[in-house]
Amino acid sequence: MFEPFSLPFVQRGLWEVLLLSGGAGVLGVWIVLRGLAFYAHGVAAATFPGLVLAAGLGFAGPLGALAVALVFALTVGRLAARDDAGDHSTLTAMVLVGALAAGVLLASDVFPRATNVTSLLFGSLLVISERDLVIAGCVSVAVVGLSVLAGPRWLAVGYDRPGSRTLGGRAGGPDALLLLLVALVAVATLSAVGSLLAAAVMVIPAATARPWIRRVRTWQVVTVALSALQGVGGLWLSAQTNAPPGATIAVLAGGVFALSVLLRAVHDRRRRGVRPRPTTLTPAVRGGAR
């Protein structure tokens, strides 16, 4: 039953999902809490022109993706710093359109032969290299460390952006750091699930656990564990069914999320109970009854 995990390339994929679950799980809580789910998807998808450049010029794809992701994060952060509401969704949509348009132009006109970026668009978890494992481990350590240090500021800015200035500094600083970390994790997930499915690792596990947990630290621990379990389960299902690992993990995560929402709705309905209809007649009805 567990024979696939005896294969070396499957073991490397297993280590990859376990290493990624630490950083992606911790950061995923901040992504959901701060309403950055669309930004997380956008920064991952926006790496497309970097992947095309890397394929066309002959250097490592993650380097091109990282460069574009950092530019994307700095641009959105800069624009959001001028907005008192800190609305990242609209800004993400505008910058994402520009990035995707640039990628299409590069792939069709400048580097028409450099379109073999499918592995990084959809992931290739079964061909993970030692470099990918090192990147995943370093990024996860950085995310956990910075989350401990900057977490209170991220929380304060999220709940009360104007009032957070009383803690010292400007709201743009913590926001920029958070956006940059999301970009780093998005690039680290490219080899595993690809740029188009990064939300399956960065967002869905945290969103799945959110309805059941109130404390941020507990939420992060549960999200890390859930991300690891879904990664391992998706990898096993992929090996059993010969399906793409990234897509399998994404489908599994989506199914667990839907189940969590359904169970929470049933739980809340049972707690409230079915309210009985009032039996007391209104004055108008009583008058008519006479």
How many degrees, rounded to 5, is the angle at CA 196 between CA 203 and CA 214? 5
In-domain check, residue 290: no
Among 148-152, 158-162, 252-256, 268-272, where is mean pLDDT lowest?
158-162
Question: Taking the alpha carbons of 108, 200, 9, 185 in that order, is the dihedral positive or negative?
Answer: positive
Q: Is the pLDDT of residue 144 over 90?
A: yes
pLDDT the model gives residue 88: 77
Question: Exposed/middle/buried for 10, CB within 10 Å: 0-12, 13-18, 19+?
Answer: buried
Q: What is the rounded CA–CA span in Å between residue 69 and residue 54?
A: 14
How many domains are there within the chain? 1
Residue 122 included in any domain: yes
The whole-angstrom separation of Cα 216 and Cα 226 is 15
Task: Please state, in angstroms and rounded to a whole number, the distance separating the CA atoms of residues 251 and 206.
Answer: 15
What percent of the chain is predicted at pLDDT more than 70?
82
Is residue 182 in some structural domain? yes
Residue 279 lies inside a defined structural domain of this protein? no
Please provide the average confidence, as pLDDT, over all residues in the chain. 82
Q: How far apart are CA 4 and CA 34, in angstroms?
A: 38
> Which has more pLDDT, 156 or 286?
156
pLDDT at res. 155: 82
Residue 57 CB neighbours (<10 A): 10
- pTM score of the predicted model: 0.83
pLDDT value of position 163: 52
- Domain encompassing residue 50: 1-271
Residue 257 in this model has a pLDDT that exceeds 60: yes
What confidence score (pLDDT) does residue 279 get?
43
* Mean local confidence (pLDDT), 146-155: 88
Q: Average pLDDT of 94-101? A: 88
Confidence of residue 286 (pLDDT cuts 50, 70, 90): very low
**Structural domain contains residue 289:** no
Whether residue 282 is contained in a domain is answered as no
Give the C-alpha separation, 189 to 249, whole Å: 12
In a domain, 288, yes or no: no
Question: Residue 195: pLDDT above 70?
Answer: yes
Q: Does the residue 281 lie in any domain?
A: no
**91 with 176: CB under 8 angstroms?**
no
What local confidence, expressed as pLDDT, does residue 85 receive? 56
Under 8 Å between Cβ of 93 and 42: yes
Helical spans, DSSP H, in the chain: 8-33, 37-45, 48-57, 61-81, 88-105, 118-122, 130-159, 172-188, 190-193, 199-202, 204-209, 216-241, 245-272, 283-289
- Mean pLDDT confidence for 83-91: 69
Cα(140)–Cα(137) distance, rounded to whole angstroms?
A: 5
Task: Give 190's contacts (C-beta < 8 A, 6+ positions apart).
Answer: 44, 47, 61, 62, 65, 120, 123, 198
Q: Is the pLDDT of residue 271 over 90?
A: no
**Residue 13 sits in a domain of what CATH number?**
1.10.3470.10
